[in-house]
Amino acid sequence: MTPRQTPMIIDGQAVISQSTDWRDVLNPATQEVVARVPFCTLEEVDRAIDSAHKAYASWRQTSLGARMRIMLKFQQLVREHTKELAALITEEHGKTLPDAEGEVGRGLEVIEHACSIPTLQLSELAENVATGVNVYTLKQPLGVGAGITAFNFPVMLPCFMFPIAIATGNTFVLKPSEQDPTSTLRLVELAHEAGLPPGVLNVVHGGPEVAARLCQHEHIKGVSFIGSSHVGDIIYQLASQAGKRAQCMMGAKNHCVILPDANKNQAIDALIGSAFGAAGQRCMANPVVVLVGEARQWSADIVERSKKMRVGPGTDVTVDVCPVVSPQAKERILRLIDSGVEEGATLALDGRDYQVSGYEQGNFVGPTVFTQVTPQMRIYQEEIFGPVLCVVEAETLDEAIAFINANPNGNGTSLFTASGWAAHKFQNEIDVGQVGINMPIPVPVAYFSFTGSRASRLGPLGPNGKEAVKFWTHSKTVTERWFEPDSISAGVNTTISMK
């Protein structure tokens, strides 16, 4: 096939970049070049920002009802095009079609939540706080927002950003991952088909220079980022130094704790689904399991069930483990597996050199399980972002909690147990932002905020829920008093009083 050219979207139109720097977008299962994406020029980025800046003047004045109706139409179109979006995700990211459809569904949750903007953006009023004086707050948009997303959820992560931002009256410039941009582009096209005015939502492509421009441009007022810790630290620093509001959701090292009173089959099935689904390329995956007490005897069962996970291309709906996104990602994962062996962990299941018939060029890594893992090992310290599970043992729940709290990251954690007492103890004492009780991937529904913590997050406000509305708006407080016509003044009063 002839690779498609990935356009920018500026003023509601697809625009082909004049950049001389274009990168290949590969199908992870075949290495076929399916698209080419530009690293836009800074002049093109400025053009997209200027477009959003001009559109803001009229969009912020658009009524809440009109914005709501556009979002309602948008969610309808996304729902109708779920299979199309999923197919594009699978082609460029590699994840299985059912997983890709699930991703679209999680993105839809945010769009549906944005449809409630008339109530989400309500303000507060206190009447007659002093004689004839009312005080009220307004929740007004910031201006132009920017979003920078990672490759692992090319539809869901943009939905964590622009639907609430534009529903609250902001305009937006989005930079999707250069590794799988096409599904993001199609999502934005559907937003325009829903009636979004030109300039309200623009798309550019590129690397560090483009990201830096989005963080530092004078017209950008807020920056949302989801990706690696290294890049997130840079984004937050650049945006903050430029006086922008910033939120950065970053790296993780999530832990799944299994107590011996848990339902063994359910817990193990949930664990390996979390660890190996999407080839482990989820910031909310559980790449570490802490087996507590007698559950330490379940390591062999975990290994045996992991062996049964089927590896193959995402287009095969019977597949459990898809390829990783790129040859570079595969090489990094293999290096980390090698380091685990060198540092003394027991390689109970080796997924290296995994071959899939008919897809010999694919970026496949089979399910890999390490036991006897210690906190000093690289496979524990680094976010592998691949289908690699580390097994750790603890004597007690207290020991497991202390072990997790000692890790610098705080994105997500899960506990499997039949004890309500243990569950409450865990959720109260664990220092992690998102907690799952008998839930392997505790990503909250869209009307609750995404609440990763510690090294996994920078900025006081996260995506989704009430925090997202707060992030994309600023409060203005009005104190007012109205006098009767021709009323007589009480005279000059030099004290500050509101009697």
Active-site residues, by number, are 283
Phi and psi at 447, nearest 5°, equal -90, 5
449: closest CA among 469, 429, 430?
469
Reading the block at residue 323, the tokens are 């390829």
DSSP string, 187-245: HHHHHHHTTPPTTSEEE---SHHHHHHHHH-TTEEEEEEES-HHHHHHHHHHHHHTT-E
Cβ-contact 310, 320 below 8 angstroms = yes
Cβ-contact 55, 49 below 8 angstroms = no
CB count within 10 Å of CB 63 equals 9
Sign, CA dihedral 155-74-35-208, equals negative
312: closest CA among 359, 350, 369, 272?
359
Pairwise CA distance, residues 352 & 487, whole Å = 86
Cβ-contact 80, 308 below 8 angstroms = no
Cβ-contact 386, 254 below 8 angstroms = no
Distances in Å between the Cα of 90 and the Cα atoms of 87, 93, 111, 404 are 5, 5, 22, 33
